[in-house]
Amino acid sequence: MRLHYLDEGQGLPVLLLHAFPLNADSFRPQLAALSGRFRFIVPDHRGFARSQLGSGPTEMDRLARDALGILDSLKIQQAVIGGVSMGGYATMALLRRDPARARALLLVDTQARADDEQAKLRRGQTAREVLEKGVEVLVDSLLPKLLAPNAPLATRNAVSTLIRSNRPEGVAAALHGMATRPDSKDILVRFAGPVLIVVGEHDELTPADRAQEMKALLKSAQLAVLPGAGHLSNQETPKAFNRVLEEFLSSP
């Protein structure tokens, strides 16, 4: 399996896992602003952009094993580990598999709950549509849910480009994988390290109440609600996001 990843900056290692259906370049605003102080390792998930797909559904545990494999190859024993949306699901799967690797957690616009039956059916239907019609259907159907209503045109265009960078087979495999993920509340409640939870004020996919639910489970969590942002807060309000991230990464 060949996996592509970005490795930029120096200092404290920070593993970032991207949202569905984007790629590693979705974290460029963070790399540009903060790689002078921190080392960012940011993979394209299997089946996305420049990474190979493999076989079967892209389960969140597979993404976790891929991420651990990258850390192993770089001889990084411990890192701050986090992700946006699907990347948050993969982060929790990694925590289930090898919690000692996480020095701290970053959970952005995500949730600990598993999909209910309706959500599973929707993911299956979307997977079929993507395989039949291509990833352009996601640009039309998902983009309005990913971004706040007043998101700038430049941000909309950038996210559309990231979506179009992916292959239908990889997107469908990830949809099936997200549908099978377990509830992760039992994992979060056992984590005692520092945690930063970030959610966009206008996130309709994983709204602020889901972020509050995760915060209540974690002993050492702080929550930042970013005004004006939707589901992709790191891209929509990068200055505010980078500020809270830098403060978190700089704390003892």
Residue 95 · residue 17 · CB < 8 Å: no
* Rounded Cα–Cα distance for residues 235 and 82 (Å): 15
pLDDT of residue 1: 84
- Domain formed by 5-250, architecture: 3-Layer(aba) Sandwich (3.40)
The conformation of residue 114, written as its DSSP 8-state character, comes to P
Spans of the chain, pLDDT less than 70: 252
pLDDT of residue 219: 85
One-letter amino acid of 159: V
Domain range annotation of the chain: 5-250
- Encoded tokens for 126: 């979307």
pLDDT of residue 40: 98
Is this prediction's pTM over 0.75?
yes
pLDDT of residue 164: 97
* Rounded Cα–Cα distance for residues 152 and 164 (Å): 19
* Rounded Cα–Cα distance for residues 231 and 48 (Å): 19
Looking at the chain, how many residues does it have?
A: 252
Alpha helices in 98-252 (DSSP H): 117-133, 136-141, 143-146, 153-164, 168-179, 185-188, 208-217, 233-236, 238-250
60-73 helix and 168-179 helix, angle to the nearest 10 degrees: 110
Residue 83 · residue 108 · CB < 8 Å: yes
* Rounded Cα–Cα distance for residues 76 and 61 (Å): 19
Residue 114 · residue 181 · CB < 8 Å: yes
